[in-house]
Amino acid sequence: MEAIFRMATRLNAKGSEKDTRHVVLDLAGSGLAYAPGDSFGIYPRNDPALADAVLAAVGVAGDFPVGGKSIRTTLIEDYSLGLAPDMLFELMSYLVGGERREKARALAKGGDPDGDAATLDVLAALQKLGPVRPDPEAFVECLEPLQPRLYSIASSPLVTPGQVHLTVDAVRYDVGGRTRLGVASTFLADRMKPGTGVKVYIQKAHGFALPASGDTPIIMVGPGTGVAPFRSFLWHRKGTQAKGRAWLFFGHQRQATDFLYRDELEAFQADGTLTRLSTAWSRDGKAKVYVQDRMHEAGPELWTWLRDGAHFYVCGDAKRMAKDVETALIGISARGGQMSEAGARDFIAELKATGRYQADVY
């Protein structure tokens, strides 16, 4: 299916270290439908400048035909130019000699002879071990397919029918004197033009959705772009005139520059859609403050909400944040419910088993 790109508006104020975009796509005519909690898949395209640099590194003209397309087009549309795959190192081991061959062989087997394997995208690998002049078709066959990227949907079909909204951090970072770009995030932020189409799909949520009853209280923890599905939840609850209480924990670096959707969230508070908003700013004070710290501070009231049947949601970083949030909730439950730590862990496990603790983490 195809959606039409409309805009990617920057959400951060001037001076922020982040570049977070509110992305709007038009679904009219696509036949796609979604519900709050679903995710949106985008088939991105690589930066043409990166594809050109790769072609220059292998000495191939961009119009060389491969699989019914020019090799330049296929590198932009079909193949990953991210982390170099083992097959590429294996191919290079046949094309170079001496120390470079030994390094290529080691890298092909998952080794890391120079301690830089994690930074070797396709271009960096070619620059490190080249120059090489592989057969163009053999080179392309060594690459991995370009995979779609999934984003949490940040809109409600009741409120903005025919549209889908996303909250996307544009990823840019420097390695070895070269700026690397997040494929999909900068495709949306920098390279898509309003009115152009993009191949997309809906991934239905499994175990991440609003409660069946609008009267059920909800607690949402979503720092950074993790706020996206909760923007969807709140707009949907507003659209259905749900009466249940809602509490959002939102965190980011600085209040002045990184308070994503501030006007909307404050309006939700004013009209009662959002009962309570707890914010955490990690760079505004001497000590870093995170959402789990705000949870601990509000521990007794959080426990009361849980005891009263609230559903608990967390969205965002799986490696640290989500684990820290779960640990905080275990501690809050142990104190509030006068349980042992083991008992609190069992309580959280029961919430998960009954669908009252839901996570959308990545």
pTM: 0.94
Token pair in block for residue 105: 């062989």
What's domain 2-43+148-203's superfamily in CATH?
Translation factors (2.40.30.10)
Token pair in block for residue 72: 């330049």
pLDDT tens track for 151-160: 999 999 999 9
Cβ atoms of residues 362 and 317 within 8 Å? yes
Q: What is the pLDDT of residue 218?
A: 98
Q: What is the pLDDT of residue 319?
A: 87
The domain made up of 218-361 has a fold known as: Rossmann fold (3.40.50)
Domain range list for the chain: 2-43+148-203, 48-141, 218-361
Report the SS3 class of residue 10: strand
For 64-71, the CB contacts below 8 A with 24+ separation are 64/136, 66/136, 66/137, 66/140, 67/140, 71/136, 71/140
State the architecture of 48-141 in CATH terms. Up-down Bundle (1.20)
Q: Evaluate whether 2-43+148-203 and 218-361 have a shared fold.
A: no
pLDDT tens track for 163-219: 999 999 999 999 988 999 999 999 999 999 999 999 999 999 989 999 999 999 999
Helical pair 86-93 and 122-129, crossing angle rounded to 10 deg: 20
- Between the alpha carbon of residue 187 and those of residues 2, 184, 336, the distances in Å are 16, 5, 47
Please state the φ and ψ torsions of residue 347, each to the nearest 5 degrees.
Answer: -65, -45
Cβ atoms of residues 200 and 30 within 8 Å? yes
d(CA 157, CA 235): 9
Q: How many helices (H) and strands (E) does the chain have?
A: 14, 15
Cβ atoms of residues 6 and 26 within 8 Å? yes
Q: Give the Cβ contact number of residue 90 at 10 Å.
A: 15
Half-sphere exposure of 222 (CA within 13 A, CB side): 30
Per-residue pLDDT at 29 exceeds 90: no
- Between the alpha carbon of residue 284 and those of residues 23, 249, 261, 263, 298, the distances in Å are 27, 17, 19, 20, 20
